[in-house]
Structure 1
Amino acid sequence: METLLNDFSPGLFVVSTILLLALIGLMVKFAWKPILNSLEERESGIEEALAAAENARKEMQNLTADNERLAKEARTEREAMMKEARAISDKIIAEAKEDAKEVTTKLIETAQASIQQEKQAALAELKKNVAELSIGIAESVIKKELSNKADQLSLVEGILKEVELN
């Protein structure tokens, strides 16, 4: 430390101090304002960026809410469409069953009518055959003119055995 005090020069100190003060003065006059301006610009840029980030966050929240709303509406619409499709499907199936019942009923009625006609035709044929048989028996009985009842019965039984029913 003693060497510092021995080497100390008051003139050099004053000149160094004046130069330092002049440098500080020049810095204040020419450099201080641009430095403060750049700091203020940076601060305002950061604030703007934060505001933009906040706006973007709010917009993302709005978009998310809109997406959720649209998805919910789409689900609701899909469910309504599915319900309508099921209703149409059920209606078509019911109509098909109804048509099938009607066709089946008509076929059954037609078959029953046909059976009834066949039955009537068979009965008419049977009556005709019985009538012809009766006439044939009567002719045979009359031709033979049997006086004995036992002979008549045996003749009728013999004729019945000979006749074949269709």
Structure 2
Amino acid sequence: MTTTAYPTLQPGTSFQLKAGDGAATEVFTLLASATTKSFKQQIATDSSYEIDANAPTTLPVRMSVPVGFAADVSGSGKADFSRFHTLQGFLGMTKNYQIVLTGTGAAGGGTYQGAFILKELNLSTSDEKLITFDFALESAGALTFTAAS
């Protein structure tokens, strides 16, 4: 298992949400400018308790082994009606997304990329030009991070 140095993405970080077209050489299209509410990365573990054969009367000790990775992203975004309707069509689908953090790599800028399921999409407000919405993405595969240069 390789580890990647990810920046700390804090709630309130602005980013661009892009969706891939699924082609062999994938092209990503901007869907919305957004602000994170949460970006959770976690490792699932398989645990068991082991007894020390040399001290059988002591309490068993839990031993854990990493077995999987998951990421969940929730945020609030703004998009025009056309892009919102495109995003709405992705609800429940697994697609490749990019979460593009502005700035240089030294300042935490870069791009997360991977398969996600858009599992929530809530229309908050709209005016004549932009829709404000909340969304939640759940990872559906490996996630990579490329630091901005």
Rg comparison, structure with higher value? 1
Q: Name the TM-score, length of structure 1 as normaliser.
A: 0.13
Q: TM-score, normalised by structure 2?
A: 0.14
Q: Which has the higher strand share?
A: 2
Structure with larger RCO (C-alpha < 8 A, sep 6+): 2
